[in-house]
């Protein structure tokens, strides 16, 4: 007799319950965080109206910040747990690919279950950011004509200078 692959339903239901409980825990921590923020906002208003001292508000700030960090850490951990549970569920569901059967005159023939081949994604090499060196201005070679012009100007200046000395 031919048997069809069956999913372990009780295990799947257990994982679903875990995922639901994890989601509820995240929501509870978010509600707790909101209540803490509302409470601090009320204390801040009390300080503004002069009902509590600055020292009392400072201690409240420290306490609130520590509690917020704790709640954020807890939420992140719970999210990570939910991700892993979800991945396990997907793995269980993915393993339920059906095996093809065919009825023939000689009986039932089971075709091999072909797994889809996943194409390996080639990792692209990240382009390295290379800082380009500042371009230096190329020293232009002065042409012979330019040198001659400069020499003529210098001679003129020398002549003027000599004439001024003579006077």
What is the per-residue pLDDT for 118? 65
Whether residue 89 contacts residue 81, with contact meaning beta carbons closer than 8 Å, is answered with: no
Backbone angles phi, psi at 6, to 5 degrees: -125, 145
- The whole-angstrom separation of Cα 51 and Cα 48 is 8
Q: Is the pTM of this model over 0.85?
A: no
Whether residue 22 contacts residue 81, with contact meaning beta carbons closer than 8 Å, is answered with: yes
What is the per-residue pLDDT for 84? 95
What is the per-residue pLDDT for 82? 96
CA dist 33 → 20, 63, 77, 82, 125 (Å): 20, 13, 15, 19, 42
What is the per-residue pLDDT for 114? 56
What is the per-residue pLDDT for 154? 83
What are 8-32's pLDDT values in tens digits? 888 999 999 999 999 999 999 999 9
Domain ranges of the chain: 9-97
Question: Residues in the chain, how many?
Answer: 167
CA dist 17 → 35, 164, 166 (Å): 27, 107, 112
Backbone angles phi, psi at 91, to 5 degrees: -65, -45
Q: What is the pLDDT along the chain (167 residues), one digit of tens a residue?
A: 677 778 888 899 999 999 999 999 999 999 999 999 999 999 999 999 999 999 999 999 999 999 999 999 999 999 999 999 999 999 988 888 887 888 888 888 877 655 556 666 677 777 777 777 766 665 555 566 677 778 788 888 787 777 777 76
What is the per-residue pLDDT for 22? 96
What is the per-residue pLDDT for 115? 57
Backbone angles phi, psi at 136, to 5 degrees: -90, 145
């Amino acid at each position: 007799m031919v048997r069809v692959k069956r999913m372990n339903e009780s295990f799947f239901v257990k994982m679903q319950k875990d995922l639901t409980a994890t989601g509820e825990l995240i929501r509870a921590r978010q509600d707790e965080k909101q209540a803490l923020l509302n409470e601090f906002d009320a204390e801040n208003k009390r300080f503004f109206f002069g009902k509590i001292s600055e020292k009392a508000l400072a201690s409240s700030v420290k306490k609130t910040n520590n509690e917020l960090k704790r709640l954020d850490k807890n939420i992140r951990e719970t999210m990570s747990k939910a991700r892993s549970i979800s991945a396990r569920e997907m793995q269980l569901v993915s393993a339920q690919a059906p095996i093809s059967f065919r009825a023939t005159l000689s009986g039932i023939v089971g075709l091999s279950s072909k797994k889809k081949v996943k194409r390996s994604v080639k990792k692209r090499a990240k382009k390295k950011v290379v800082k380009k060196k500042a371009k230096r201005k190329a020293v232009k070679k002065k042409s012979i004509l330019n040198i001659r012009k400069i020499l003529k100007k210098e001679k003129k200046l020398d002549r003027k200078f000599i004439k001024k000395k003579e006077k």
